[in-house]
Amino acid sequence: MKYLCQIWFDTEASKLVPQQEWDVLTDECIVSDDNWRDRGVLVTALALRAPESATTLRLKSGKVTATDGPFAEIKEHLGGFVVIEAADMEQAREVVATFPILKYASVEIRPGYSIKDGR
């Protein structure tokens, strides 16, 4: 089963972390990703740019509208995601518990399924 692991940062607190700490964390996460890949549990991992770089699309009255930046003021922002393969939620939790990003962010683990087959 595949699990989406969403990495959520406290927006204001993350601005206070010195760049040197981010650089060390990035190196630790690269090692972690490589370890997970070698173990066969990592499907994909991506960091996301700052919320200000986002565009939100909505369909209103048959027309697509776009809003630059985050749609609303937020206390937390999605900073990245990882998709892992695990037998069950317990194994997914065990894998994510080793993720260095937990020092600076929370990680929401959510089971995924294919909409084609509903599983």
> What is the per-residue DSSP string for 7-69?
EEEEHHHHHTS-HHHHHHHHHHHHHHHHHHHHHT-EEEEEE---GGG-EEEEEETTEEEEEES
Mean per-residue pLDDT, 62-70:
86
pLDDT of residue 71: 63
The DSSP string of 94-107 is HHHTT-GGGGT-EE
Question: Contacts by 44-52 with C-beta closer than 8 Å and gap 24+?
Answer: 44/82, 44/83, 45/80, 45/81, 45/82, 45/83, 46/80, 46/81, 47/79, 47/80, 48/78, 48/79, 48/80, 48/81, 50/77, 51/11, 51/77, 51/78
AA identity, residue 24: V
Mean pLDDT within 11-25: 95
83-119, pLDDT tens digit by residue?
A: 999 999 999 999 999 999 999 999 999 999 988 887 6
pLDDT(10) > 70: yes
